Structure 1
Amino acid sequence: MPADPSPRTAPSPPSPSSPPSPQNRGSGTSAVEVRRSSRRRRTVSAYREGDRTIVLIPARMSEAEEQRWVGVMLDKLAAQESKRMLGDTELVARAEWLSEQYLGGRARPASVRWVTNQNTRWGSCTPAEGSIRLSHRLKGMPEYVVDYVLVHELAHLLVPGHGRRFWELLEAYPRTERARGYLEGVVAAGRLPHLPGAGTGTEPD
C-alpha cells in the first residue's frame, strides 16, 4: 500500500494552521470544508458539524490528494451512518420519498425489504406485485449508493428492461454515476463474483 495518510473518522476538535478551504462537495446537500494542519503528518479524519462535513488533512498534501481523500472520507462517513439506519420499515419510507423526489411519485412500491439470498444482484423487483428487494450486502455502503439501487428498482416498476426510457428516468437521480462507480469498485475489489452472462454484476435487476 502507498505511504498515504491512513483514513480514520474522529470527531476531534480541529487545529488548522492555515485558513480552511470550503468546497462545494458533499454528501447530499452538506457542504465540505477542508482544514489543513502542519501538525498532521499522516492521518486524515472527518466529522459532521451541523450541515457541514469537516475534513482534516496534513498541510503538505497536494490538491489531487486532497480531492481523493475528501471522497474517501465522505464515503466512509456515509457508510458508518447507513449502518445506523434503514430497517425494512424505513426502507419503504425511503423508497416512497425517493419516488416523490426523482420519479414524480409515480413508482409506488407495495413492499421494500432486505434479503440475504441475492449474492449476484444488488437489488431486484417484481413489478406485478410492486415488491422490491435489496441485497443485505448493501448494508454499510454509503447512503447515496443504497438510494441509487432503490431508485433503480423503483424505475423498474415503471419501465421494464434497461432501454433508453429507463436510463432517462435514472438521470433524475444526481448521484447515479458516482453510485455506479462505487459498485463497480466493489466488483473490481473481488467482493462480488462475476457469473457468465451476468455482465459486470454492478447493476440491480
Structure 2
Amino acid sequence: MDGVELRRSRRRTLGLEVTREGHVIVRAPLRASSAAIERFVRDHMDWIARAQARQRARLEAHPEPDEARQAELMRRAREELPPKVAYYAQRMGLKPAGMRITSARTRFGSCSAQNRLCFSWRLMDYPDAAVDYVVVHELAHIVHKNHGPRFWALVQQYMPDYRARRALLRE
C-alpha cells in the first residue's frame, strides 16, 4: 500500500479519507488484518481516484493564497462578515454569542455549543451567495445543533435556494 497512510484506532469499521493535498488515509480497527485492509483499499481504488481528482480540481480553483492575498481575504472577512451575520441574525430572530475569523482549512464556518460563530477567512474566496449561505447555515445551528430535517427546514425558510448556494462551495 504505497502512498497510503494507515491509522489504527478503537473504531469498528474501515474508512478512507483523501486529504486536500490528495494523500490517502485508511482508518482501521486495531485488530483488522493487513489483508483485509489491503483488500478494502483495492476495492475502493476507483473512489480514491475520483476523490483525488476532485481535490486536485479544488486546489487548482482555490490555490493556497500568498501573504498579500491572505491579508486581503482576512480584511474582507473582518469587514464583510459582521454586517452579514447581524443582518441574517436579525431576520432569523437569533443572537449569536460572538463571532471570530479563523484560518480554518477544512471548514468554512462553525457554531459552538455556546452559540459562538467562527468563519474562515478562506470563505471570502467564494461568491457572495455562498458566503451568505454559510452565515445562515451557522446561525441555524444556534437553534438546531445537528443537520436534521428541522435544521434544513430552517435554513430553507430564510434561504430557499440554499442548495444552489451550497453547490458554489464545492466548485
Q: Which residue of 2 aligns with 1:162?
A: 147
Q: Of residues 94, 112, 116 in structure 1, which corresponds to 2:99?
A: 112
1:55-74 matches, cutoff 5 A: none
TM norm structure 2: 0.51
Instruction: Give the alignment's TM-score, normalised by structure 1.
Output: 0.43
Task: After TM superposition, give the deviation of residue 86 of structure 1 in Å.
Answer: 4.6
Residue 98 of structure 1: aligned partner: 88
SS at match of 2:119: strand
Following TM superposition, by how much is the alpha carbon of 1:143 offset from its aligned partner in structure 2, in angstroms? 1.0
Deviation of 1:164 after TM superposition, in Å, equals: 0.8
Q: 2:109 aligns with which of 117, 123, 130?
A: 123
Change in CA separation of 1:182 and 1:89 when aligned onto 2, cut-off 3 Å: closer
SS at match of 1:133: strand
Kept in 1, the 8 Å contact 2:126–2:168? The answer is no
The 1:147–1:85 alpha-carbon spacing in structure 2 relative to 1, beyond 3 Å, is farther
Amino acid aligned to 2:135: L
CA distance in 2, matches of 1:163, 1:121: 19
Aligned to 2:122: 137
Give the letter aligned to residue 113 of structure 2.
Answer: P
Structure with the higher fraction of residues in helix conformation: 2
Distance 1:88 1:112, change over 3 A: farther
State the distance in 2 between where 1:95 and 1:135 align: 14
Q: CA deviation at 1:84?
A: 10
Separation (CA, whole Å) in 2 of partners of 1:84 and 1:132:
16
Deviation at 1:133, TM superposition (A): 0.7
What are structure 2's unaligned runs of at least 5 residues?
1-72
How many Å apart are 1:93 and its aligned residue?
2.7
CA distance in 1: counterparts of 2:120 and 2:146, whole angstroms: 19
Q: Deviations over 1:6-44 (max 9, x none)?
A: xxxxxxxxxxxxxxxxxxxxxxxxxxxxxxxxxxxxxxx
CA distance in 2, matches of 1:134, 1:84: 10
Structure 1 residue aligned with 2:69: none
Q: CA deviation at 1:135?
A: 1.4
Where do 4+ consecutive residues of structure 1 move more than 2 Å? 83-93
Match of 2:170 in 1: 184
Q: How many residues align?
A: 99
- Structure 1: unaligned runs, 5 residues or longer: 1-82, 186-205
The verdict on how the C-alpha distance between 1:182 and 1:138 changes in structure 2, with shifts beyond 3 A counting, is same
Contact 1:125/1:156, CA 8 A, preserved across alignment = yes
What is the aligned-residue RMSD (CA, Å)? 2.4
Identity %: 35
